[in-house]
Amino acid sequence: MKGRLVDLINLFGQLGGFDFLKKRICEGELTVNILSFLLRPFGLCSSFLTERVRNDYIIAIVDKSIEFISSFFFKKWL
């Protein structure tokens, strides 16, 4: 089963999925629901991501997600 998951992750990357995901989160309009739907699959398979994917994509995505969530809660409590 793990081999199939790795194959799917590799296919996702080859088809530009990580580029799309990074662009969508870092440059697009976000809501909490959209962010949750986009990030959930990667939380479940994070141990199978390569160091390159983590450095090139996931770190930028996490930074932007934290920024979004912080601004969301900050606005809500004002």
Tokens 């976000």 belong to residue: 30
Rounded CA-CA distance 60/24 in Å is 12
Q: Are 68 and 30 in contact (CB under 8 A)?
A: yes
* pTM for this entry: 0.76
Q: Tell me the HSE value of 47 on the side-chain side, using a 13 A CA sphere.
A: 3
DSSP-based helix, strand, coil % in the chain, nearest 5: 85, 0, 15
Helix/strand/coil for 1: coil
Per-residue pLDDT tens for 44-77?
Answer: 888 898 899 888 888 888 899 888 888 877 766 6
Per-residue pLDDT tens for 21-31?
Answer: 999 988 888 88
